[in-house]
Amino acid sequence: MSTATNALPNAATPSVVIQDLVKRFGDFTAVDHINLETRQGEIFGFLGPNGAGKSTTIRMLCGLLTPTSGRAEVAGYDVARHPEAVRQHIGYMSQKFSLYDDLKVIENLRLFAGLYNVPHHLVHERISWAVEMADLKGQEGMITGTLPGGWKQRLALGCAVLHRPPIIFLDEPTSGVDPISRRQFWDVIHQMSADGVTVFVTTHYMEEAEYCNRLALIYRGKMVALGTPTELKQKFMKGELLLVECEPLGPAVEALQSAPHVLDAAVFGNALHLVVREAATAIPGIRAFLSSHGVTVSRIEAIRPTLEDVFVSLTTEHEAARKERN
């Protein structure tokens, strides 16, 4: 698997510009004043839980939904005023597999070449390119519905980029796909980025977010953080992080809410992640505190934060502030 360097592409003209973008459905605000820009060749990640507003934002940027207020430009076109022009300059792959299961791979590719108005004299070349890029050579005659999930996703991506758009929007492209297929899919994304294509991708997989050049963390329709994965991990952890393996977990995390050294505590798998001001001085006190509450500690050590730690910390802080306002 090739990994991203997280270096930002150097492009004079932004490929996507979003200013105070809002989308309301009745009294519900799905997207709440989002501002950001992306650059040519950048892999830009929209990270957040289901229902955070990621897909709604993508649909506005693709010209499929009209913003309630604010503005967005994609490939230089205003999404509200020129949605058709936007759609001609982008590729879009939705969460749900959108190809025709009863057609062969080659038939789906030919169909989408027609839908995207690929010039007739370029169809063969573009289909060959898409098959090669999606690693489907030799599978052209297979019925699409019989393909494994990862192959289907790569085929859907190949169909979405037959017209060689400068910007690609991928909405949860690897949802429901096995980990190996996800990594293969990301190899294709990095290949496209290296060719200068801007890739705008939504995901709720924290490990996938590490492959992006930059990320926007979205929660309840708001952008709560923006930066490279490294920047986010360095900037938004309010202290140092400890891994604690102990038994029983439930009483431990409940007791730690009132521990003097602990700023935050959360369950991560079969262990706890604790945010403390200073790991070296906090460890002895936490071990003694848990012991006094009948919790047996088998391991406690300082670790580097992950994006999941950052996201938990930020959303917890955001939720506490929201409850305070209400």
How do residues 162-182 score in pLDDT, each as one tens digit? 999 999 999 888 877 778 878
- Say if 314 falls within a structural domain: no
Same domain, 112 and 179: yes
Residue 136 has pLDDT above 90, yes or no: no
Q: How far apart are CA 303 and CA 232, in angstroms?
A: 16
Same domain, 134 and 44: yes
Across 60-88, b (16+ Cβ under 10 Å) vs e yields bbbbbbebeebebbbbebbbbebbebbbe
- Say if 324 falls within a structural domain: no
Beta partners for 271?
A: 268
Look at the chain and report how many structural domains it folds into: 2
Same domain, 103 and 73: yes
Between vectors from CA 33 to CA 235 and to CA 316, what angle results, nearest 5°? 45
**Whole-number pLDDT of residue 180:** 82
CATH number of the domain encompassing residue 285: 3.30.70.100
Q: How far apart are CA 120 and CA 57, in angstroms?
A: 34
Same domain, 111 and 253: no
**Whole-number pLDDT of residue 2:** 43
Half-sphere exposure of 286 (CA within 13 A, CB side): 33
Identify the residue whose tokens are 């502030």: 321
Q: Is 242:276 a contact under the CB 8 Å cutoff?
A: yes
**Whole-number pLDDT of residue 90:** 94
* Average pLDDT estimate for 128-154: 88
Q: pLDDT for 183-222, tens place per residue?
A: 888 888 998 999 999 999 988 888 888 899 999 999 999 9
The more confident residue out of 237 and 129 is: 129
Give pTM, 2 decimals: 0.80
Q: Is 196:40 a contact under the CB 8 Å cutoff?
A: yes
